[in-house]
Amino acid sequence: MRVSSSTLFDSNVASLSQQQSRLMQTQQQVSTGRRILTPAADPVAAARALDLSQSDAVNTQYTSNRNAARHTLSLAESNLQSVTTLLQDVKTATVTAGNGSLNNSDRQTMAIDLASRLEELVGLANSTDGVGNYLFSGFQSKTQPFVNTATGVTYAGDDGLRMMQVSASRQMPSSDSGADIFMRIKNGNGTFVTQAAAANTGSGVASLGNVTNPAAVTGHNYQISFSIAAGVTTYSVTDNSTLPTPTVLSTGNPYVSGQAISFDGMQFDIQGAPANGDSFTVTPSVNESVFKTISDLITALKTPVSSTAPGSAALLSGSLSRGLNNLDNALNKVLTTRSSLGLRLNEIDALQTTGDDLGLQFQQALSQLQNVDYNKALSDLTQQQISLQAAQQSFVKVSNLSLFNYL
Amino acid sequence: MGSNIFGSALSGMNAAQYGLATTQHNIANANTPGFSRQVIDQQARPGQQTGAGFLGQGVDVVGVRRLYDQFISTQVLQEQTQATYLTTYHTAISEIDNLLADSAAGASPAMQQFFDSLNGVANSPESIPARQTLLGNAQFAVNRFQAIDQRLTDITTSLNGQLTNGVTTINSYAQQIAALNANIKRAAANAGPGQMPNDLLDQRDQLINLLSKEVKASVQSQSNGAVNVFIGNGQGLVVDEQAYSLTTLQSTSDPSKLDIGFQYQGNSIVLPQSSLQGGNMGAYLTFRDQTLEPARNALGRVALGLATSMNQQNQMGQDLTGALGGNLFTVAAPRVSNGANNNGTATLTASIADVGALTTSDYQLRFDGTNYTMLRLSDNAVTNLGTTLPLTPGTIDGFSFNLTAGASGMMKGDTFLIRPTADGARDIAVAITDPAKIAAAAPIRGNATVTNTGTGTISAGTVNTPLPLNPNLQATVTIAFNSATTFTVSGAVPAVTGSVAYTPGGNISYNGWTVQINGTPAVGDSFTVQKNTNATGDNRNALLMVGLQNKSILANGTASFQGAYGQLVGQIGAKTNELSVTSTAQTSMLNETIKQQQSVSGVNLDEEAANLLRYQRAYEAAAQALKIANTMFDTLLALR
């Protein structure tokens, strides 16, 4: 083919500039480490990389969510650990208070000690996360949840649980309702409570009792009344829930200390010697806050015991055993919550591992999509360099060829 | 006899001189664009009859001819216009390709930061710094949307400038071609048959070549040497010696855009985009209408979707002060413009009804004298809107519209252009400055009474969708169990009489909220659902907002915000990639054809050098013959 002189130049210049642009692109890939310099280089990979970057960022966000959740959960856990220790101390004190060798002033001292422990407990229940947000007030993080009023400690928070998005599919509560931990504790054995009347003069003390037949439990209020006639102690059982005309379930039952008394599916015993006219009540369990339990104990310890009045000692003994039982119930609640906290912390750790793995996968996928393969890029670079050099040299040679050189 | 030799030698010298002049002309124009090399046509003079037969009398130069192939030149024109189109389109689209996906400048990282800080608020809803950060990042995202939109607007504006320049260039080419037509006609008429003013032809061909870089043109040769040049659907740009001109007109459907008009007898006729193909003009128009505007719409849809769904969720929550949430973002309204040729008085308003159903298309409302129709411009789908006002359906693809007739209503041929998402990115703004106004909490909470003895628990509760909220949402409702399997409800509107059966875990829904009660409530236990007072630590609504990030909201529930944005990036990237490949291919095809054309018409300096030698030798030889003839005369004269 006939070649015009300008074609010779034009096509060489075009090929040189094409090679240079390729060389520059490879050089940019090497210097930025990115394979996709603009989305046009690989539109599918570019759009996918955007998606993956978001997934990766969201995954990273879940990590910081988990850290935040771990922080509040750990705070609550260490707080409840203090509560556990405190309740165990109170329990020990209550057991000690039952020691018959203590006198009234000893118990008075113990009551003062318990009062300060109660203050401490209220303080713990009102603890904050360090920036003024209460841990156990539900949604109302700025509202002090436990308030000491004339009628005892009341709960001003709510049942709200703060959920945290700790992984794509898991929202985890990072808080617990204070009402559940400190307020909603069933007293007695969980079904009913036995209690001696305050006016009792005998030494009778009722046991906690247990349920023998759940189906027969009525939830009514009962009264056990003692009478002594001719040296024989008998008692009657009355259902007071049918007032104004109480139903007498049984009467004239012979009393033997420590022998089981059972009716309507419930069973307990009374030990000691009830006096004539002494009575005991059996009522359904209700919720009793741990604060009330401790403050009841304080009241019981403050009440003097007279050696001449066996009733007062029996009352104290009954109060202490009820208090111990309620403390156990409260401790159970706290421990249950702590085990749930521990489970959640464990789950966070497990999710953290999964999240880290996932993050690694995202990074790998992103790197495969975006990052340059240096081996290939460098070998390309060398190749393009050589071919550009060859083109430049041959162009100079060819362009020097002209017949005019010889004219 | 001697005079014979004189004449013949002289003709040889003349011919050689012609040859040298033409060769010199070729060498001088070796680098002139559009120049075709020229050669002289020599012809032997007819012989003089003698007794011995016909005796040669020398040579004549009968013509100077340019070496030119009409077929290849037409091919160059066609490929030139297509190559320019693709290259210009590629250059234009590369600009937004980079802009959208840039990890620093794209909208993707800004949206991610917004949702990151939303997570921060969900993690500590009472924290003012966390809320302030969210507002800051909301502003950042808004700025990013606006910046990208501004960049697209800048590109539109500069396209208007380029269209105007293109029109000026085309008009100037047309006039020059027409002037050359006149000169060529005159020159050809004066010259002998078959003799053409080669250099003028080259100049005209070069102008047509330049014209075809601007717009696709077809050329028709006339017998008198003139050419007619047509563009578009046969609009004659140059007819003989007459040049017509193009002009730019403000678009009838969108005042921000320029249309191209053809001026004919004082009137301007708008040329549709489809008729202006190829070249720079075709590339600008196609890029603007098929890439830039859809990109702006797609970006606007993401911004609209983000703003609207965040607003809706915020309205379903309660802010830090205990008030119900309002709008977080200001949301753009659809852009409605009247057709410039509308004769009626009807006015049209439009609003966004459902962001999930929005498309990225523009729409045109038309009236043909009887029927109202809505045309979706992306795929020309037509929806019939009936023959009377109000139009039904009043909502199409997520936007609703309302046509008010006015005095004379809509006239036949009147149109309205509706661009639902065009301003989405431009007009998005953060509506609040007070960080407390972020509604992280839910407006209600379920609560169990502290004295409950059963194991029943109540969920915190959720607000029923969609908006508007129930006016009694925050009224206190008490659910009291009167047996193990039934409860009574007080405070609900409308009031609930009698007992309601209890299903553990079942939805209990009154006053616009839903709660679940689980477990075994005891008789006498009660639960309340009430206004969520003092709920500084509640993050339920913030969590729902966070959840919107991964929810497929847009495009009828098929794409998340990021997904829809990714689609845009992918589409632009794919188109850019396609153009990069096709423009390279087309350019190398063009170069091949130019090489072909050059192999016919181009100047080869070696060849010209050889020709120089050839004609020089011919001249020398002819001169030698003259010298011999002279010597012959001398010899003859010396005989005496």
Say whether pLDDT at B531 is over 60: yes
H-helix or E-strand spanning residue A205: strand A205-206
Decide if A184 touches B, using CB distance below 8 A: yes
CA angle A363, A366, A368 (to 5 degrees): 110
Say whether pLDDT at B1 is over 60: no
For range A288-314, the mean pLDDT: 87
Residues A155, A137 contacting (CB under 8 angstroms):
no
pTM of the model: 0.83
The whole-angstrom separation of Cα A43 and Cα B598 is 38
3-state secondary structure (DSSP) of residue B640: coil
Say whether pLDDT at B438 is over 60: yes
The number of residues in chain B equals: 640
Residues 110-169 (A) with a CB less than 8 A from some CB of B: 131, 133-134, 137-143, 155, 158-165, 168
Does the N-terminal peptide bond of residue B393 adopt cis geometry, omega within 30 degrees of 0?
yes
Chain A CB contacts of B533 below 8 Å: 140
Does the N-terminal peptide bond of residue B466 adopt cis geometry, omega within 30 degrees of 0?
yes
Decide if A332 touches B, using CB distance below 8 A: no
Decide if B110 touches A, using CB distance below 8 A: no
Decide if B323 touches A, using CB distance below 8 A: no
Chain A CB contacts of B123 below 8 Å: 64-65, 68-69, 164
Beta strands in B88-176 (DSSP E): none
CB spacing of B598 vs A61 below 8 angstroms:
no
Residues 548-567 (B) with a CB less than 8 A from some CB of A: 549-550, 562-563, 565-567
3-state secondary structure (DSSP) of residue B364: strand
DSSP state of A42: S
Give the residue from B518, B525, B577 with the most A CB atoms within 10 Å of its CB, the best one to mutate. Answer: B577
pLDDT category of residue A304 using cuts at 50, 70 and 90: confident
N-term to C-term CA, chain B: 18
Chain A CB contacts of B109 below 8 Å: 53
> Which two tokens mark B216?
């696709």
Nearest CA in chain B to A50: B566
> Torsions phi, psi of A338, nearest 5?
-65, -40
pLDDT category of residue B451 using cuts at 50, 70 and 90: confident
Say whether pLDDT at A124 is over 90: yes
Out of A39, A142, A163, closest to residue B572 by CB:
A39
CB spacing of A407 vs B580 below 8 angstroms:
no
Beta strands in B511-639 (DSSP E): 513-518, 526-531
pLDDT score for B2? 54
Residue ranges in B327-375 assigned as alpha helix (H): none
Q: How much of chain B is in helix, strand and coil states, percent to nearest 5?
A: 45, 20, 35
- The percentage of chain A sitting over the pLDDT mark of 90, rounded to a whole number, equals 43
- Report the gap between the CA of A122 and the closest CA in chain B (Å): 17
Out of B112, B538, B573, closest to residue A139 by CB:
B538
> Which two tokens mark A301?
């310890």
DSSP for A241-310 reads GGTTSPEEEEEEEEP-TT-EEEETTEEEEEES-PPTT-EEEEEE--B--HHHHHHHHHHHHHS---TT-H
Decide if A53 touches B, using CB distance below 8 A: yes
Chain B CB contacts of A4 below 8 Å: 37, 598-599, 601-604
Q: Which of A284, A388, A374, A266 is nearest to A35 (CA)?
A: A374
Stretch among A305-309, B323-327, B509-513 having the lowest mean pLDDT: A305-309
Question: Which residue type sits at B28?
Answer: A
- Report the gap between the CA of A160 and the closest CA in chain B (Å): 6
Burial class (CB in 10 A: 0-12, 13-18, 19+), B566: buried
For range A74-90, the mean pLDDT: 94
H-helix or E-strand spanning residue B209: helix B198-214
CB spacing of B30 vs A6 below 8 angstroms:
yes
Does the N-terminal peptide bond of residue B197 adopt cis geometry, omega within 30 degrees of 0?
no
pLDDT category of residue B199 using cuts at 50, 70 and 90: very high
- Report the gap between the CA of B504 and the closest CA in chain A (Å): 18
Condensed to tens digits (0 to 9), the pLDDT of residues A250-272 reads 888 889 888 899 888 999 999 88
Condensed to tens digits (0 to 9), the pLDDT of residues B398-410 reads 999 998 888 888 8
Condensed to tens digits (0 to 9), the pLDDT of residues A316-358 reads 888 898 899 999 999 999 999 999 999 999 999 999 999 999 9
Say whether pLDDT at B503 is over 60: yes
Higher per-residue confidence, B374 vs A43: B374
- Report the gap between the CA of B381 and the closest CA in chain A (Å): 29
A249's CB contacts (< 8 A; 6+ apart) are A222, A237, A238, A239, A263, A264
Condensed to tens digits (0 to 9), the pLDDT of residues B101-131 reads 676 678 888 899 999 999 999 988 888 989 9
- Report the gap between the CA of B556 and the closest CA in chain A (Å): 19
Decide if B599 touches A, using CB distance below 8 A: yes
Averaged confidence pLDDT in chain B: 90
Stretch among A71-75, A345-349, B340-344, B360-364 having the lowest mean pLDDT: B340-344
- Report the gap between the CA of B370 and the closest CA in chain A (Å): 46
CB spacing of A50 vs B543 below 8 angstroms:
no
Condensed to tens digits (0 to 9), the pLDDT of residues B384-402 reads 998 888 888 889 999 999 9
Decide if B453 touches A, using CB distance below 8 A: yes
The whole-angstrom separation of Cα A371 and Cα B542 is 36
Q: Which of B128, B127, B536, B529 is nearest to B319 (CA)?
A: B536
pLDDT score for A11? 85
Burial class (CB in 10 A: 0-12, 13-18, 19+), B295: buried
Task: Give the position of tokens 């693709």.
Answer: B86
pLDDT score for B25? 94
How many other CB atoms sit within 10 Å of the CB of residue A306? 10
- Report the gap between the CA of B113 and the closest CA in chain A (Å): 9
Which residues, in sequence order, are bridge partners of residue B507?
Answer: B516
Decide if A19 touches B, using CB distance below 8 A: no
How many other CB atoms sit within 10 Å of the CB of residue B494? 8
Residues A160, A182 contacting (CB under 8 angstroms):
no
* Exposed e or buried b per residue across B409-420, where buried means at least 16 C-beta atoms within 10 angstroms of its C-beta: ebeeebbbbbbb
For range A56-66, the mean pLDDT: 91
Decide if B83 touches A, using CB distance below 8 A: no
Query: CA B565 → CA B104, B114, B451, distances in Å?
Result: 15, 15, 53
DSSP for B579-600 reads HHHHHHHHHHHHHHHHHHHHHH
CB spacing of A40 vs B577 below 8 angstroms:
yes
Q: Which of A264, A170, A190, A256 is nearest to A222 (CA)?
A: A264
From the centroid of its chain, how far is CA B508?
Answer: 53
For range A82-98, the mean pLDDT: 92
Higher per-residue confidence, B538 vs B193: B538
pLDDT score for A290? 93
Question: Which residue type sits at B39?
Answer: V
For range B70-84, the mean pLDDT: 92
> Which two tokens mark A76?
């609550």
Condensed to tens digits (0 to 9), the pLDDT of residues A351-385 reads 999 999 999 999 999 888 888 889 999 999 999 99
CB spacing of B119 vs A65 below 8 angstroms:
yes
Residues 513-552 (B) with a CB less than 8 A from some CB of A: 532-540, 543, 546-547, 549-550
pLDDT category of residue B206 using cuts at 50, 70 and 90: very high
For range B73-83, the mean pLDDT: 93
Out of B122, B537, B609, closest to residue A403 by CB:
B609
Q: Which of A233, A213, A337, A221 is nearest to A276 (CA)?
A: A233
The whole-angstrom separation of Cα B276 and Cα B93 is 19
How many other CB atoms sit within 10 Å of the CB of residue B358? 26
CB spacing of A404 vs B600 below 8 angstroms:
no
Nearest CA in chain A to B126: A141
Nearest CA in chain B to A155: B450
B91's CB contacts (< 8 A; 6+ apart) are none
Decide if A336 touches B, using CB distance below 8 A: no
How many other CB atoms sit within 10 Å of the CB of residue A103? 10
pLDDT score for A331? 93
Question: Which residue type sits at B591?
Answer: N
Residues A126, B84 contacting (CB under 8 angstroms):
no
Counting DSSP H helices and E strands in chain A, the numbers are 7, 13
Condensed to tens digits (0 to 9), the pLDDT of residues A10-32 reads 888 888 998 999 999 999 999 98
Higher per-residue confidence, B340 vs B76: B76
Task: Give the position of tokens 């075009």.
Answer: A14
H-helix or E-strand spanning residue B376: strand B372-376
Condensed to tens digits (0 to 9), the pLDDT of residues A198-241 reads 888 888 888 888 999 888 888 889 999 999 888 888 999 998 88
Nearest CA in chain A to B562: A51
Give the residue from B37, B94, B119, B530 with the most A CB atoms within 10 Å of its CB, the best one to mutate. Answer: B119
Residues A159, A180 contacting (CB under 8 angstroms):
yes
The whole-angstrom separation of Cα A46 and Cα B566 is 8
- The percentage of chain B sitting over the pLDDT mark of 70, rounded to a whole number, equals 99
Chain B CB contacts of A35 below 8 Å: none
H-helix or E-strand spanning residue A167: strand A163-167
Burial class (CB in 10 A: 0-12, 13-18, 19+), A128: middle
Chain A CB contacts of B543 below 8 Å: 163, 165, 171
- Report the gap between the CA of B574 and the closest CA in chain A (Å): 5
Burial class (CB in 10 A: 0-12, 13-18, 19+), B471: exposed
CA angle A13, B583, B212 (to 5 degrees): 85
3-state secondary structure (DSSP) of residue A148: strand
Which residues, in sequence order, are bridge partners of residue B376?
Answer: B363, B381
The whole-angstrom separation of Cα B500 and Cα B486 is 5
> Torsions phi, psi of B577, nearest 5?
-60, -45
Give the residue from B133, B538, B561 with the most A CB atoms within 10 Å of its CB, the best one to mutate. Answer: B538
pLDDT score for B247? 92
Decide if A284 touches B, using CB distance below 8 A: yes
CB spacing of B573 vs A38 below 8 angstroms:
yes
Burial class (CB in 10 A: 0-12, 13-18, 19+), B61: middle
The whole-angstrom separation of Cα B80 and Cα B278 is 9
> Which two tokens mark B339?
């057709």
CB spacing of A50 vs B535 below 8 angstroms:
no
How many other CB atoms sit within 10 Å of the CB of residue A147? 14
Decide if B581 touches A, using CB distance below 8 A: no
N-term to C-term CA, chain A: 25
